[in-house]
Amino acid sequence: MLQAFKAYIKYSVLFDQADRILLAVSGGVDSVVMVQLFKDAGYNFGIAHVNFGLRGEESDGDETFVKNLADQAGVPYYVKHFDTKKFASNHKISIQMAARDLRYAWFEELVTENGYRFVATAHHLDDQAETFFINLLRGTGISGMHGILPKQGKIIRPLMFTTREKIMSVAKELDLEWREDRSNKSRKYLRNKLRLDVLAELYKINPLFSHKLNESITHLRDVETIYNSHIAGVTADLVQHTPEGILISIDWVYEYEPHNTYLYELLKPYGFSYPVVKEIVRSLDTFSGKMFYSPTHRLLRDRENFIIQPLTDLNTDHFNGEVFYLEKEILNIEHPVCLCIHQTANITDLPMGKASIACLDMDKLTFPLKLRKWEKGDWFMPLGLKGKKKLSDFFINQKFSLADKEKTWLLLSGEDIVWIIGKRIDNRFRITPKTKKAFVISSVDESGETEVAACGCSLLFS
């Protein structure tokens, strides 16, 4: 393992012998073996550990263990405590996203302040396989197929030559100690379910599965390089930055087929999703004036150009008549209304009595969902009431002012109203004992307060 480790670092040009490397160590078997390899190879390194405060005494136990590991190795030790739940709530993001952002921001500070060249994480080939299949299930396209890169900026992954099985074998052979995270065995998380159920079967078919997949991913990276080079050239030709906004010539778009793929690559930097891009392509042969929105930008179909502008540059108080699209994979949006979203198979602890949180049956929804203002003639089937009700009557019963009605947004599945946001869900989409997976959306009020923590965004991707 040690010889293979040193050879991989040299072959992948991860770092030089004289470089100081900061190891991100959780205390799990992967990071413990990484520490042992760095020590035995004689590299110059320090150890950094993050206590996210999410697992109480277990998190504190991990911290103590990693400190002892650093003391035994005789290397510098750095630790940081974060209130991860509070950060996630304040920034309207999931617990996982918050942990990642906090972790890597702190690593960057340590590297700069303490003279380290790179940060090493203990990702290996099985992590790459899991990430590949997660992205495959999400439909992320070629950009999601390149796997975990061995070197990305200041981040290096020196264990990307080996597997979890080999790492575990070495740990046992050397009689190393490590910490176990009990959540790693829970099948309610997608990554764990893939590892325990799907990848385990693929290893039975081919014990070298991770290595073979890595070969395919390497080919895909080469294809992606060629693809991105071509797209960069097309972008330089088609995208113009002007005082009026970002312009894309509609006549030029006609010349590039398939239209959906080319236009998606041009609009992806501005937050437009693939389903919305397909709607934009359909507008090529329609009248001018039609508008489309991403979470951050508006696209106007003018006579000769698509005009793209940041929402921050626009008056976005009303959006009357405009439709926004909400994909299954979106975690949170800020425009036209602030929402935090997650999915979970654990339906027993959902806060289904809160008007600010919509707990919906995933299987009853048709994606992409739509967001729009209410229109005359709209109706729904309010939770807790029998039969249909016009929204106008619902507003009267709830004593909505004219301003309240103007500020109200609707979430739709197809043409059916799913949720009067922040007020009432439709009875047809409620959680029932037969629900297999919940789609949970938390709204944010004008003060910026959200029910993110209460609705359990930490269950994202479960």
297-314 confidence digits (pLDDT tens): 889 888 888 999 988 776
Please give the residue that has the higher pLDDT: either 346 or 250.
250
What pLDDT is recorded for position 315? Answer: 58
At 289, the pLDDT band (50, 70, 90 cuts) reads: confident
- pLDDT surpassing 70 at residue 318: no
The domain locations on the chain are 2-185, 243-313, 324-459
Radius of gyration of the chain from its Cα atoms, rounded to whole angstroms: 25
* Domain 2-185 in this protein, CATH class: alpha beta
pLDDT of residue 320: 61
Instruction: Kindly state the percentage of the chain with pLDDT values over 90.
Output: 53
pLDDT tens per residue across span 64-118:
999 999 999 999 999 999 988 888 877 777 788 888 899 999 999 999 999 999 9
CB-facing half-sphere around the CA of 65: CA atoms within 13 A:
20
* pTM over cut 0.75: no
pLDDT of residue 448: 39
3-state secondary structure string across the chain? CHHHHHHHHHHCCCCCCCCEEEEECCCCHHHHHHHHHHHHHCCEEEEEEEECCCCCHHHHHHHHHHHHHHHHHCCCEEEEECCHHHHHHHHCCCHHHHHHHHHHHHHHHHHHHHCCCEEECCCEHHHHHHHHHHHHHHCCCHHHCCCCCCEECCEECCECCCCHHHHHHHHHHCCCCCCCCHHHHCCCCHHHHHHHHHHHHHHHHCCCHHHHHHHHHHHHHHHHHHHHHHHHHHHHHHEEEECCEEEEEHHHHHHCCCHHHHHHHHHHHHCCCHHHHHHHHHHHHCCCCCEEECCCEEEEECCCEEEEEEHHHCCCCCCCCCCEEECCCCCEECCCCCEEEEEECCCCCCCCCCCCEEEEEHHHCCCCEEEEECCCCCEECECCCCCCEEHHHHHHHCCCCHHHHHHCEEEEECCEEEEECCCEEEHHHECCCCCCCEEEEEEECCCCCECHHHHCHHHCCC
For residue 362, the model assigns a pLDDT of: 92
Beta bridge partners of 230: none
Cα separation of 78 and 238, whole Å? 48
pLDDT tens for residues 6-44? Answer: 999 999 999 999 999 999 999 999 999 999 999 999 999
How high is the pLDDT of residue 453? 34
Better-predicted residue by pLDDT, 189 or 80: 80
Q: What is the pLDDT of residue 366?
A: 92
Identify which has the larger pLDDT, 375 or 171. 171
Average pLDDT across the chain, whole number: 87
Q: Rounded CA gap, 323 and 372, in Å? A: 5
Res 142: pLDDT: 81
| pLDDT tens-place string over residues 135-166 | 888 777 787 788 889 999 999 999 999 999 99
